Chains A and B, each alone.
Chain A
Amino acid sequence: MRIPDEMRNILYGNYFGYVCTSDRHDQPHLTPVFFIYDENSQKLFFITNDTSKKVKNLSENPNISITIDIRDPVNPFNNEGVMAQGTATITDKAPIYFLSEETLQLYYDIYFEFKSKYQKVIENKPLGENDVIIQINIEKMVYWKGPHFKSLKFKKDDQILD
């Protein structure tokens, strides 16, 4: 299944995503992230520090949502965006020679993708020691343009990790 073009364009054409997680008391938390979308697996990825609040929340509650949008302060009809809801998988954190081959491959691919997308800002900064990759397994996606909405449900397939 290929997602509709308008959703695809948003996911590929934007740099900032807003990730929402919540803790076991249902208190939400929100942060801006750099993200990439992988068309083949239809998953979203972002890199974060494993001491961050979102990782702490995700270990209590794997549900996650992310919004990526174009905002127009003048004309609300030009506002366009996507919200993806699903669950998150956090890559294992271990010294690099203990990681499984798939995880290593994922690190390599994701980092490469990130570098090509965010070349301007991350330059040659390597992954930090505490960085982990968060994979979003999308279950539902909502798209809006102005007042019009479109919603898409995803089949649950095998996850890449674990």
Chain B
Amino acid sequence: MDKSTKKEMRWIYEEIVGRIPPFSYLPYQFSILLQLLLLLVIGIFLGFVFGLGKISLLYGSLAILVAVSWSLLILQLAPTLRKFRAPLSKDENELLERYKDILFHKNHYEAVPGLVIFIPFILYIFYFGMDLLDMWLGRSPNTILLLFVSLLIWDICYRMGLGLWTSVLALWRSVKLKKLAEKRTELEHTPYTELRYLQKLDINNVFFGLISLLLLPLFKIDNFLIAVIIFFMVFVTLTSLISAYIISKVPWLPPDIYNLVNESSFAYIGTSLKGKTHVTPVVYVFDGQKILFNTSKEAKKLKIMQKNNKVAFLIDKRDMSNIYENKAVLFTGEVKIYGIMDIPLRFIHMLKAISLFMKKYPEYTKKYSTSELPKAWQLTPIISRILVEVKPIKIIYWRGAKQISVPV
């Protein structure tokens, strides 16, 4: 990528700290961690110099632990977004570019929520919360200690601000993306990998919210601040969960392929073992996100897939009267075979798949239930018909004579 067009994607505080030696000699992420480690060392040192109790050191370490965990989560944003490939939809691409621009805005708005938390908090602590200072540092602490504690408070508040900033922006981006996805045409989409990246960032933020609970012991004597922390936790966790959920509903297939997969009745599954290939038709269902087919327990293809889970899965629309209308999509990748072990964790998911099968192939379900069939074919759901999920790595789409490779 061109250096001038490449976004800096750094936050102001990290940027400033990153310029001071020895931090400037280290890669970005490490320098932040080193900074926090240094705080820990200074804290322990000050603790000994001013004869603080063990409990004070513990409180300080807890605060630093929270700051480190938050940093680790939040610093994944920039590298993840840097890996991001442009969506194949102009609108969605613009949205995600805007999201990145605001997230790492050159005016550094991201520091605002941190400041908004920090200033009232410091005022509160020094005017109303003297009890807290007593609890942390003992009676009439030294000014150096107070300065150090203020620095720690800034570290915490700044990152709380980043937590709010990133989770609110994430929710906004998810809601917008979901809306834009509904207006897609033809082959427009945001690839699967990128959607999963966004979801992973949201899940990171869920943990970000939960980690704030570790701060509770620090404020145990102040009910108001306890309430603030819990509110913060609920807000960040919930916002991020909703955002992750919305992203999970954004189709990862462009409409042309989505519709083909949604409307077709049959698919072909190609497997290969030690070079020998095998291809048969299968029935499958699609829930908008996952593609699942089912196979008899005795089937040759199942035995092959258990040894080599690489597959080719083809869905097509064939029409001899007009071959230029023919469409086909090929997914190559891997399969996940659902077994007994998956029942506890994916029970609802498997039930949903079975009900989709019954809805899509009512006659099949009925016919497979008759006892005149060979035993392996009889339909005793889950047990003798095996559910298999297709996990594509590559997608090829044919429309008429044109072949198009679609990123996953």
Contact = CB atoms under 8 A, between A and B. Distances in A.
Contacts of A18: 268, 270, 279, 314
Interface residues of A, number: 35
Given A28-B270, A30-B313, A73 B265 contact: yes
A22 B314 contact: no
Interface in B86-145: none
B83 interface: no
Given A26-B310, A30-B312, A75 B367 contact: yes
A61 B277 CA distance: 10
A75 B283 CA distance: 12
B176 to A, nearest CB: 37
A159 interface: no
Most-contacted residue by chain A among B274, B280, B308, B314 (CB, 10 A): B280
B272 A28 contact: yes
A147 B374 contact: yes
Contact of A76 (B274, B277, B364): B364
Contacts of A30: 268, 270, 279, 312-314, 330, 332
Interface residues of B, number: 39
Interface in A1-40: 15-16, 18-22, 25-32
Contacts of B316: 32
A85 B363 contact: no
Contacts of A138: none
A65 B279 contact: yes
Q: A-side binding surface: helix, strand, loop or mixed? A: strand
A103 interface: no
Contact of B314 (A27, A31, A69, A81): A31
A16 B318 contact: yes
Most-contacted residue by chain A among B272, B310, B368, B373 (CB, 10 A): B272
A28 B268 contact: no
A66 B273 contact: no
Nearest to A76: B364
Contacts of A22: 270, 272, 275, 277
B400 to A, nearest CB: 11
B318 to A, nearest CB: 5
Contacts of A26: 272-275, 308, 310
A83 B363 CA distance: 25
A21 B277 contact: yes
B276 A29 contact: no
B279 A20 contact: yes
Nearest to B367: A76
Contact of A29 (B308, B318, B332, B373): B332
Closest 9 CB pairs of A and B: A22-B272, A20-B270, A30-B312, A20-B279, A73-B265, A30-B270, A28-B270, A28-B312, A20-B277
26 contacts: A19-B279, A20-B271, A20-B278, A26-B273, A26-B310, A27-B310, A27-B312, A29-B330, A29-B332, A30-B268, A30-B330, A31-B328, A32-B316, A32-B318, A63-B275, A63-B276, A65-B277, A65-B278, A65-B279, A71-B265, A76-B361, A85-B277, A85-B278, A121-B323, A147-B373, A147-B377
